[in-house]
A and B are shown apart, each in its own frame.
Chain A
Amino acid sequence: DAKTTQPNSMESNEEEPVHLPCNHSTISGTDYIHWYRQLPSQGPEYVIHGLTSNVNNRMASLAIAEDRKSSTLILHRATLRDAAVYYCILNLLYNNNDMRFGAGTRLTVKP
């Protein structure tokens, strides 16, 4: 079963970097690693995804371990608006792009 493991919660101070870890030891070669975040009463919002190489976009960076069994979402300067539940998910390419969400990491940002 394509499962990810994340800490239940993390705290950060405003304007400091945040590193959100994720373990996915059962990942297969064709599974993409996706990160989404969800604010209360809203649908999940895409953050970033990757396959093998590290990725950067305007929202965050994704660092993928060489063996692909873990990854880290990096928010370079946390803001209060980054407080959300962050989900690390495997997108199962050859299973109808099935995405299996866990409970995610609740990020609290302190001013």
Chain B
Amino acid sequence: DTGVSQDPRHKITKRGQNVTFRCDPISEHNRLYWYRQTLGQGPEFLTYFQNEAQLEKSRLLSDRFSAERPKGSFSTLEIQRTEQGDSAMYLCASSSGLAGVEQFFGPGTRLTVL
């Protein structure tokens, strides 16, 4: 399968713990996006990478959220000191560098904070 993959698919953690999610984009895609989706809502854009450069991070929800893409391939999203309000689906997407093209989404990581 050559689509976008995310790991883990489900994560249950206790409030105050740190969690890290991984995204492996489609191999030839240089753009990578993170979204958060809460129940009944559409995905909410968080951050964006072009290769290893994080070009947009102002939409990260707080300074507890950070993302990296160290070699321009896979990416990680970390949430520090998790809160119950962080419970959501975290989606990763990738795209090529062409103008206005579609984004390919992974299956998501569902986070539950107890």
Contact = CB atoms under 8 A, between A and B. Distances in A.
Interface of A: 32, 34, 36, 42-46, 49, 51, 85, 87, 91, 93, 96-104
B104 interface: yes
A102 B55 CA distance: 23
Residue from the set B31, B48, B103 with the largest chain A CB neighbour count within 10 Å: B103
Q: Which are the 5 A-B pairs with shortest beta-carbon distances?
A: A101-B42, A43-B105, A32-B100, A46-B102, A96-B56
B96 to A, nearest CB: 11
A78 to B, nearest CB: 22
A91 B100 contact: yes
Given A45-B105, A49-B100, A96-B48, A102 B42 contact: yes
A23 B105 CA distance: 24
Contacts of A42: 107-108
A96 B48 CA distance: 7
21 contacts: A36-B105, A42-B108, A43-B4, A43-B93, A43-B105, A43-B106, A43-B108, A44-B43, A44-B91, A44-B93, A45-B105, A46-B103, A49-B101, A93-B99, A96-B56, A97-B31, A97-B33, A97-B48, A101-B44, A102-B42, A103-B40
Contacts of B100: 32, 49, 51, 91, 93, 97
